[in-house]
A and B are shown apart, each in its own frame.
Chain A
Amino acid sequence: DTEVTQTPKHLVMGMTNKKSLKCEQHMGHRAMYWYKQKAKKPPELMFVYSYEKLSINESVPSRFSPECPNSSLLNLHLHALQPEDSALYLCASSRETSDYTDTQYFGPGTRLTVL
């Protein structure tokens, strides 16, 4: 089973709203990732969690706040977003970080629209 689930599938929010994206995997993976993808572009890495600890923050604005409550769950809390933050947000997981043989498996994504 290589399933990563993400909820919600679609999200529309105003610039003053607070919302959260959720990602879950039950593959026993210890690395989890958040990516942002704009239309017709490759995914851009935002955050990496390794063994439930934040290991990489790619200089993401503080209006995006990641959280890893346990090894299966990854959240992305959103607050005071801008219209340019509208994008597809992809979650991924892999067995480990720091292993070039390790495949990242992606969830179906959340399409976010900020009005």
Chain B
Amino acid sequence: AQKITQTQPGMFVQEKEAVTLDCTYDTSDQSYGLFWYKQPSSGEMIFLIYQGSYDEQNATEGRYSLNFQKARKSANLVISASQLGDSAMYFCAMREGQDDKIIFGKGTRLHILP
């Protein structure tokens, strides 16, 4: 079974609208971290935001926020007021307990339309 599921292979959004990128995860660990990365066509993986399993507040970083619903095992990324530069691939990822590895979802390609 997939540990990280991103159900939206691609999305088209009008500039200045808010965007929600879906991510669900599967783990039996109590301690885990959830990450979102942005990858523009240039290739660099840019860290956006982190949410720990014990964090009670949803993480926010500028225009990015993470809608963390622990009981539903979802960690959706919300981008407010989208910009043309937000066009990129977005990966949701998880790190469990003391595992060295980070598990990536398959990604969502976001296209912002002018």
- A: residues with CB less than 8 A from B are 2, 31, 37, 40-43, 45, 48, 50, 55-56, 88, 90, 92, 97-109, 111
A45 to B102, CA, bound (A): 8
Interface size class of B (residues with CB under 8 A): 20 to 34
Contact of A106 among B31, B37, B98 (CB under 8 A): B37
B111 at the interface (CB under 8 A from A): no
- How far, in whole Å, are A99 and B100 apart by their CA atoms in the complex? 7
* A41-B95 contact in complex given A101-B52, A109-B43, A109-B44, C-beta closer than 8 Å: no
Digit string of B69-110 for contact with A (CB within 8 Å is 1, else 0)?
A: 000000000000000000000010001111111101111000
- Asked whether A108 and B43 contact (CB < 8 A) given A42-B106, A100-B32, A101-B33, the answer is yes
Residues of B within 8 A of A101 (CB): 33, 50, 52
Query: Are A42 and B100 within 8 A (Cβ)?
Result: no
A92 vs B47: C-alpha distance when bound (angstroms):
11
B42 at the interface (CB under 8 A from A): yes
Query: Which of A100, A101, A107 has the most chain B CB within a 10 Å cutoff?
Result: A100
Residues of B close to A100: CB separation below 8 A? 29, 31-33, 52-53, 95-99
Looking at the assembled complex, report how far the CB atom of A1 sits from the nearest CB atom of chain B, in whole angstroms.
Answer: 13
Contact B100 A56 (CB under 8 A): yes
Lowest 6 CB-CB distances: which A-B pairs, in order?
A42-B104, A106-B45, A98-B98, A97-B100, A109-B43, A108-B44
Report B's interface with A, CB cutoff 8 A. Answer: 29, 31-33, 35, 37, 42-47, 50, 52-53, 91, 95-102, 104-107
Q: In the complex, are the beta carbons of B52 and A98 less than 8 A apart? A: no
Which B-chain residue is minimally distant from A105 (CB atoms)?
Answer: B47
List the B side residues contacting A107 at CB < 8 Å: 44
Q: Most chain-A Cβ atoms within 10 A of its Cβ — which of B45, B46, B53, B91? A: B45
Candidates B43, B100, B102; contact of A111 at CB < 8 Å: B43
Q: Are B47 and A2 in contact (CB under 8 A)?
A: yes
